[in-house]
């Protein structure tokens, strides 16, 4: 790219900065994504932004996509992190969709953006077909979720689903537990079986109503004295086991 890049008006900057608000993101259907790794992964996925924003010396990733040069303080106004890496881009929000699945996770009350984003990244890495989210999970289109997922929220199918809907999916509901159930190392699922693994937050655990619905229980063996695992770590271990099993 040659020549001087166009600048954003103060009004446009103000409107983009408002997208840090969940309400505004949902109203506008847009989100600003930052971080070179996340943006590079989105490019690898073939997900194109609407606009790009760079500071002096940084290079845009896409050709043919409008690019604007910002001062560092201006870019910081648009981004969730305190020290953005000189590059950000504007995207339509990731769109929820229901798909048929062979292996999926149901996430019960995952409120931490880093955990949810990491679980999306795990799902993309190990072939989990879909993520089903309880209504009280954190917003998927949060910039922190998107960044932690390395853009996988645009790749892995997801939707919000009430507990009462799970029984109609025709899947075996396997609930993860620290205290009871089959050991993961001994767990396998027939090739033709539809499997839904239920995961809850480490702090809150899984609701009693979901526990009552479970067809079976699954535990990850750990050293004595350890009570539980971070939910994203547990998701990674289980996803890897299903992928390699």
Tens-place pLDDT, residues 143-168:
999 999 999 999 999 999 999 999 99
Round the average pLDDT of the chain to a whole number and report it: 92
% of residues, the chain, pLDDT over 70: 96
DSSP-H helix ranges across the chain: 10-17, 22-28, 36-45, 72-78, 113-125, 143-148, 208-213, 231-244
**pLDDT tens column, 45-68:** 999 999 999 998 889 999 999 999
Which pLDDT belongs to residue 192? 85
Which pLDDT belongs to residue 181? 78
Which pLDDT belongs to residue 22? 95
Q: How many CB atoms lie within 10 A of CB 170?
A: 8
What number does CATH give the domain 103-244? 3.40.1280.10
Q: How many CB atoms lie within 10 A of CB 84?
A: 22
Domains of the chain, by residue range, sit at 10-92, 103-244
Homologous superfamily of domain range 10-92:
Ribosomal protein L30/S12 (3.30.1330.30)
pLDDT at 1 over 60: no
In b/e form, how buried is each residue of 196-212, taking b as 16+ CB within 10 angstroms? Answer: bbbbbbbeebbbeebbe
Cβ–Cβ < 8 Å for 169, 147? no
């Amino acid at each position: 790219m040659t020549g001087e890049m166009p600048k954003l008006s103060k009004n446009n900057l103000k409107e983009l900065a408002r997208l840090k608000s969940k309400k505004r993101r949902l109203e506008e259907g847009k989100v600003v994504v930052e971080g070179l790794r996340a943006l590079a992964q989105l490019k690898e996925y073939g997900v194109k932004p609407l606009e790009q924003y760079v500071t002096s010396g940084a290079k845009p990733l896409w050709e043919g996509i409008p690019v604007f040069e910002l001062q560092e303080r201006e870019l910081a106004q648009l981004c969730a992190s305190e020290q953005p890496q000189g590059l950000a881009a504007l995207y339509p929000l990731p769109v929820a969709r229901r798909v048929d699945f062979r292996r999926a996770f149901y996430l019960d009350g995952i409120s931490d953006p880093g955990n949810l984003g990491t679980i999306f990244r795990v799902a993309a890495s190990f072939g989990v077909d879909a993520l089903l989210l309880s209504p009280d999970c954190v917003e998927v289109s949060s910039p922190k979720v998107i960044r932690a997922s390395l853009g996988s929220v645009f790749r892995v199918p997801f939707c919000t689903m009430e507990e009462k809907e799970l029984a109609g999916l025709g899947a075996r509901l396997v609930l993860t537990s620290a205290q009871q159930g089959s050991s993961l190392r001994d767990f396998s699922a027939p090739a033709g079986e539809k499997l839904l693994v239920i995961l809850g937050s480490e702090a809150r655990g899984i609701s009693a109503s979901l526990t009552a619905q479970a067809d079976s229980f699954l535990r990850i063996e750990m050293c004595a004295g350890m009570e539980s695992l971070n939910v994203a770590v547990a998701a990674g271990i289980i996803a890897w086991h299903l992928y390699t099993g």
